[in-house]
Amino acid sequence: MWDALTGRFDLLVVGAGITGAGIARDAARRGLRVACVDMNDVAFGTSSRSSKLIHGGLRYLEQYEFSLVFESVSERRILQDMAPHLVNPLGFLFPVYKGARKPLWMINTGIKLYEGLSLFRSPKRPRSLKPADVAEVEPAVKRDGLKGAPLYYDCATDDARLTLETVLDASENGAVVATWAKVTSFIKDESGRIHGVVVKDQLDGELREVHARAVINATGPWTDATIAMSAGPSASLLRPTKGIHVVVRHDVLPLSNAVVCFHPTDKRVLFAIPWGDRTYLGTTDTDFEGDPAEVHATLEDVDYLIDAANSYFPDHQLARGDVISTWAGIRPLMAPPEDNGDVNESKVSREHAIVVSQDGLVTIAGGKLTTYRRMAAEVVDTAVRLLEMTDGPMELEPARTDKVPLPGARGWPADDDHARVADEVSKAGHPYVPDDVAAYLADTYGTRGADLARAIEKEHALGARLVEGRPEVMAVVDWAVREELAATVCDVMVRRTQLFYRDVDQGLGAAPKVADRMAALLGWDEARKAREIALYEQVVAASRGWRAELDGTQDKSEASRVPSRA
């Protein structure tokens, strides 16, 4: 899409995380000429490193953030309709023990309030389990001192793919999306108003001016740095906090529902979440200073989560060696007024704010994954008002982002029958698409999974598994390059397939196969292939950096190693 960054756009969105993607989709659907650029891949930052939940945030009720919870549970319903293949109901078990800070009756009352705020439209109705019921529903949970456990429902998602499909829908509606395109400076007119940016192609170094009537800063953890690039150092909008997760095999920690845990030392809320053949635990919440691209899990972080798990699941004790992978992300939270660091990290509000600088830069900061669509609409409303102040009223179409499904949900069964979609995928690729691959394609790509299956039926080699025993096949590499803006091996391994997180070897054995196929599709030479494989190996090493602390060695992060196009 680099070559399409020409002419003058109505809106230029800086950042292709979930918020930037939502803004681009909303604006493009209104009929605005939109460009969206990112210095790395789609969802490179926080938007692929969240807890992967679409939820109202039950714990926010304790902080009296009723409007945030209401907005979130309302959006949860909308996102289920928009992307039923990516937003799926998940039970949350809330075990309450003797001596707990909040008694069982109070937790049950909170869940009734939570259900009421959702207008009783939760994916399933909550219920309160007795200790004997808990032993049957989740036998791994500690029973000593257990008083009972409410079971309520929110949703799980693939955060990176939700972001990606939002970007793809924006692109289908005319938005120009360019990844690996870093904004290096702003262009201003004689009055000091921003009317464009200078963008650097991260893969070959080319610089280009991109002009726009309005520029939107949707850079998440990089919000303050982006503002400083325009206005110089100023008061920070953000109080960034770090959250990490660890992944283990499901048979090591077998769960059917997410389990709400309170850490045994600081009582912070954590989750243990089933994830297919894996289980992950998180998250931490600690203040973070420095480059968000350099964030990683530390040994202290990993041990903190292991300690919590071992407190709640005594018959399934975890050790450091059980950890397959980790991820770490930065929450771009709004700094509280007169913040001096005294507010506990976990109590910093998840609300968002839209700020318009004197030079015209529109910044969106804070917020949650769950409310991204609504935040995006507010930002576009703000930008349109700015444009109308100088150019007069605009005739725009309604965006209808709450009514139009994302690409993988088009043609989805009204009864939300995942099995039927998987069956259609299997038929499209029969007999070359096994059942486990068909289910994976349906769950990951929705109704578009049938397109990948048909590609396998035509070119049988595309059915080759990237990792023996796993459902990811070579067809997903072709699809990632041709349809999903993937430009590097890391793009494919980390955010298109999740092999980086899920494979016991984090996809190291598959990286050469992926590089070979991408080379054939993109015309890479042997040197480029070797660099891509080496870069991915370094990214895996960085995610394992917490282990290196044991012998004092360290690794750098993915963002500091930018490949070239050559």
Which residue is it, tokens 């004092």? 552
**Do 559 and 44 form a contact (C-beta atoms < 8 A)?**
yes
Q: Which of 87, 172, 85 is nearest to 409 (CA)?
A: 85
Classify strands 269-275 and 278-282 as parallel, antiparallel or unpaired: antiparallel
Q: For residue range 175-231, what is the model confidence (pLDDT) as tens digits?
A: 999 999 999 999 999 999 999 999 999 999 999 999 999 999 999 999 999 999 988
Classify strands 34-37 and 207-217 as parallel, antiparallel or unpaired: unpaired
| Mean model confidence pLDDT for the chain | 92
**DSSP 8-state symbol, 502:** H
Q: Which pair of tokens denotes residue 367?
A: 């917020």
Q: Which pair of tokens denotes residue 340?
A: 């001096």
pLDDT of residue 565: 46
Confidence of residue 555 (pLDDT cuts 50, 70, 90): very low
Its pTM surpasses 0.85:
yes
Q: Say whether pLDDT at 128 is over 90.
A: yes
pLDDT of residue 556: 46
The count of C-alpha atoms lying within 13 angstroms of the C-alpha of 446, restricted to the half-sphere facing its C-beta, is 24
Residues sharing a CB contact under 8 Å with residue 6, sequence separation 6 or more, in sequence order: none
pLDDT of residue 349: 54
pLDDT of residue 348: 52
Q: Which of 418, 426, 506, 521 is nearest to 466 (CA)?
A: 506
pLDDT of residue 336: 72
| CA pair distance 326, 35, nearest whole angstrom | 33
Q: Which pair of tokens denotes residue 181?
A: 């395109």
Beta strands in 304-357 (DSSP E): 325-331, 352-356
Q: Which residues pair with 209 in a beta bridge?
A: 198
Q: Which of 100-104, 412-416, 438-442 has the lowest mean pLDDT?
A: 100-104
Average pLDDT of the segment spanning 89-106:
93
pLDDT of residue 235: 64
Work out the number of other CB atoms within 10 angstroms of the CB of residue 23.
Answer: 32
As a whole number of Å, the CA-based R_g of the chain is 23
Q: Which pair of tokens denotes residue 375?
A: 């935040």
Q: What residue ranges define each of the domains in the chain, with the CATH number in brackets?
A: 2-47+160-236+347-391 (3.50.50.60), 63-156+239-331 (3.30.9.10), 411-560 (1.10.8.870)
**DSSP 8-state symbol, 484:** S
Classify strands 278-282 and 241-249 as parallel, antiparallel or unpaired: antiparallel
Confidence of residue 337 (pLDDT cuts 50, 70, 90): low
pLDDT of residue 338: 58
Classify strands 286-287 and 241-249 as parallel, antiparallel or unpaired: antiparallel
| pLDDT more than 90, % of the chain | 80
Q: Rounded to an integer, what is the distance from CA 224 to the centroid of its chain?
A: 21
Residues of 327-348 as b/e, b for ≥16 C-beta within 10 angstroms?
A: bbbbbbbbbeeeeeeeeebeeb
The angle subtended at Cα 548 by Cα 545 and Cα 550, nearest 5°, is: 135
| CA pair distance 464, 480, nearest whole angstrom | 16
Q: What is the DSSP track for 176-200?
A: EEESSEEEEEEEE-TTS-EEEEEEE
Confidence of residue 552 (pLDDT cuts 50, 70, 90): low
**DSSP 8-state symbol, 495:** I
Average pLDDT of the segment spanning 100-115:
88
**DSSP 8-state symbol, 405:** P
Classify strands 176-178 and 146-157 as parallel, antiparallel or unpaired: unpaired
Beta strands in 20-140 (DSSP E): 34-37, 53-54, 87-93, 96-97, 127-129
Q: Kindly give the residue spans of alpha helices, DSSP state H, lying in 435-510.
A: 435-445, 449-458, 475-483, 489-490, 499-502
The angle subtended at Cα 102 by Cα 100 and Cα 104, nearest 5°, is: 85
Confidence of residue 345 (pLDDT cuts 50, 70, 90): low
Work out the number of other CB atoms within 10 angstroms of the CB of residue 412.
Answer: 21
362: phi then psi, degrees, rounded to nearest 5: -95, 120
Does an H or E element contain 244, and which? strand 241-249
Q: Which of 388, 293, 278, 375 is nearest to 325 (CA)?
A: 278
Residues sharing a CB contact under 8 Å with residue 348, sequence separation 6 or more, in sequence order: 239, 241, 333, 334, 335, 336
Q: For residue range 229-240, what is the model confidence (pLDDT) as tens digits?
A: 988 777 688 899
Q: For residue range 387-439, what is the model confidence (pLDDT) as tens digits?
A: 999 889 999 999 999 999 999 999 999 999 999 999 999 999 999 999 999 99
Question: Which carries the bigger pLDDT value, residue 108 or residue 494?
Answer: 494
pLDDT of residue 123: 81
Q: Which of 556, 552, 499 is nearest to 295 (CA)?
A: 556
| CA pair distance 142, 161, nearest whole angstrom | 34
Distances (CA, A) of 60 to 72, 164, 286, 351: 11, 28, 18, 11
- Helices 435-445/418-429 angle, 10° precision: 120
**Do 137 and 127 form a contact (C-beta atoms < 8 A)?**
no
CA dihedral 442, 445, 447, 450 (to 10 degrees): -70
Work out the number of other CB atoms within 10 angstroms of the CB of residue 72.
Answer: 24
Does an H or E element contain 304, and which? helix 299-312
pLDDT of residue 92: 96
**Do 245 and 227 form a contact (C-beta atoms < 8 A)?**
no
Q: For residue range 8-56, what is the model confidence (pLDDT) as tens digits?
A: 999 999 999 999 999 999 999 999 999 999 999 999 999 999 999 999 8
Q: Say whether pLDDT at 68 is over 90.
A: no
Q: Say whether pLDDT at 561 is over 60.
A: no
pLDDT of residue 130: 97
Q: For residue range 350-389, what is the model confidence (pLDDT) as tens digits?
A: 578 899 999 999 999 988 999 999 999 999 999 999 999 9
Q: Which pair of tokens denotes residue 287?
A: 């203040």
